[in-house]
Amino acid sequence: MDFFVIQALTGLASASSLFLLASGLSIIFGVTRIVNFAHGSFFMLGAYMAYTLTTMWSGPLGFWGGVVAAAAVVAVIGAVVEIVVLRRIYDAPELFPLLATFGLALMTEDAVKMIWGPQDLLGPRAPGLEGAVTILGHPFPAYDLVLIVLGPAVLGLLWLFLRRSPWGVLVRAATEDRTMVAALGVNQKRLFTGVFMLGVFLAALGGALRIPREAVHHAMDMEVIVEAFVIVVIGGLGSVPGAFLASVLVAELNAFGILLFPKISMVLLFLVMAVVLVLRPHGLLGRPEAAARASLGVQEEPWRPMGRAGWALGVALVALLAALPLVADAYTLTVTTEILIFALFAASLHLMMGVGGMVSFGHAAYFGLGAYGTALLVRFFGAPMEWGLLTGPALALVGAVVFGWFCVRLSGVYLAMLTLAFAQIVWSVVFQWTEVTGGDNGILGVWPGRWASDPAVYYMLTLTLCAAAVGAIRHLVFSPFGQSVRACRDSPGRAESIGLDRRGLQWLCFVLAGGFAGLAGTLYAGLKGSVFPDVLGIPLSVDGLVMVLLGGLGTLTGPLVGAGVFKALAIEVSSATDVWKLILGTVIVVLVLAFPEGIVGVWRRWVRPRGAGS
Amino acid sequence: MSELLAVRGLNAWYGRAQVLFDIDLRVDAGEVVTLLGRNGAGKTTTLAAVMGLIPGVRGDVHFGGASISGLPPHRIARLGIGYVPEDRRVFSDLTVDENLAVGRQPPRPGAPSWTPQALFDLFPNLAELRRRRAGQMSGGEQQMLTIARTLMGHPSLVLLDEPSEGLAPRLVEQLARALGTMKAEGLTILVSEQNPRFARSLTDRAYVIEKGRTRFEGTLADLDARPDIRDACLAV
pLDDT of residue A607: 58
How far off is chain B from A160, nearest CA to CA, in Å?
14
Residue of A nearest to B135 (CA): A176
Q: Closest Cα of chain A to B147: distance in Å?
A: 11
Tell which B residues from 40 to 69 touch A, by Cβ distance under 8 Å.
44-45, 48, 51, 53-58
Give the gap in angstroms from C-alpha A609 to the nearest C-alpha of chain B. Answer: 9
B21 touches chain A (CB under 8 A): no
Nearest one of A583, A514, A593 to A110, comparing CA atoms: A583
ipTM of the complex: 0.92
Nearest CA in chain B to A179: B53
Say how far apart CA A58 and CA A208 lie, in whole Å.
Answer: 16
CA distance A159 to chain B (A): 14
**How far apart are the two ends of chain A, measured CA to CA in Å?**
75
Query: Which one of A177, A180, A239, A293 makes the best mutation probe of the B interface by having the most chain B beta carbons within 10 Å?
Result: A180
Residues of A at the B interface (Cβ-Cβ below 8 Å)? 91, 166, 169-170, 172-173, 175-177, 179-188, 287, 295-301, 610-613
- What total number of domains does chain B contain? 1
Cβ B37 vs Cβ B194: under 8 Å:
yes
**A299: which chain B residues are within 8 Å (Cβ-Cβ)?**
14-15, 17
Side-chain-facing half-sphere of A457: CA atoms under 13 Å: 10
Residue A151 CA: distances (Å) to CA of A145, A227, A331, B31: 10, 17, 54, 56
DSSP state of B16: T
At residue A606, the pLDDT reads: 63
Q: Which of A184, A187, A612 is closest, CB to CB, to B149?
A: A184
What integer pLDDT is reported at residue A302 of this predicted model? Answer: 66
**Beta-carbon separation of A296 and B105 below 8 A:** no
Q: Do B102 and A299 touch (CB under 8 A)?
A: no
The DSSP code for A533 is G
Residue B56 — left, alpha, or beta (φ > 0 → left; ψ -120 to 50 → alpha)? Answer: left
Asked if the Cβ–Cβ distance from A297 to B74 is below 8 Å, we say: no
**Spans of chain B below 70 pLDDT:** 1, 235-236
Q: Specify the pLDDT at position A238.
A: 82
Q: How far is A392 from chain B (nearest CA, A)?
A: 42
Contact (CB<8Å) B72/A182: yes
Euclidean distance between CA atoms A104 and A36, whole angstroms: 10
| Minimal Cβ distance to A299: which of B14, B44, B83 | B14
* Residues in chain B within 8 Å Cβ distance of A175: 93
The beta-carbon neighbor of A170 closest among B58, B73, B102 is B102
DSSP string for residues in A468-480: HHHHHHHHHHHSH
Q: Which of B151, B177, B183 is nearest to B164 (CA)?
A: B177
Main-chain phi, psi angles of A43, to 5 degrees: -60, -50
CA distance A368 to A536: 5
Of B12, B85, B98, the CB nearest to A169: B98
| Residue of A332, A212, A236 lying closest to A284 (CA atoms) | A236
* Mutation site, A159, A167, A175, A184, interface B, largest B CB count within 10 A: A184
CA dist A581 and A574 (Å) reads: 8
Per-residue pLDDT, B198: 81
Residues in Cβ contact with A561 at an 8 Å cutoff, skipping those fewer than 6 apart = A551, A552, A599, A600
Give contacts of B 165-204 with A, CB under 8 A: none
Q: Within 13 A of A455's CA, how many CA atoms are on the CB side? A: 15
pLDDT of residue A587: 86
Convert the pLDDT of each residue in B6-16 to its tens digit. Answer: 999 999 988 77
> Nearest Cβ partner of A183 from B16, B44, B73?
B73
At residue B23, φ and ψ (nearest 5 deg) are -75, 130
Nearest CB to A184 within list B17, B18, B153: B153
DSSP H or E stretch at residue B35:
strand B32-36
- Residue A290 has a pLDDT of 54
Would you say A157 and A168 are in contact if contact means Cβ atoms under 8 Å apart? no
Instruction: Provide the CATH number for the domain around residue B165.
Output: 3.40.50.300
Q: Do A172 and B15 count as a contact with CB atoms less than 8 A apart?
A: no
Q: Enumerate residues 6+ apart whose C-beta is below 8 A from A306.
A: A314, A474
Rounded CA separation A418/A276 (Å): 10
- Please answer yes or no on whether B74 and A186 come within 8 Å at the CB atom: yes
Residues in A touching B44 (Cβ below 8 Å) = 296
**B72: containing domain:** 3-233
Question: Which portions of chain A are predicted below pLDDT 50?
Answer: 291-299, 609-614
What is the distance in angstroms between the Cα of A605 and the nearest Cα belonging to chain B?
12
Strands B58-63, B205-210: pairing kind = unpaired
Residue B73 sits at the chain A interface (C-beta within 8 Å): yes
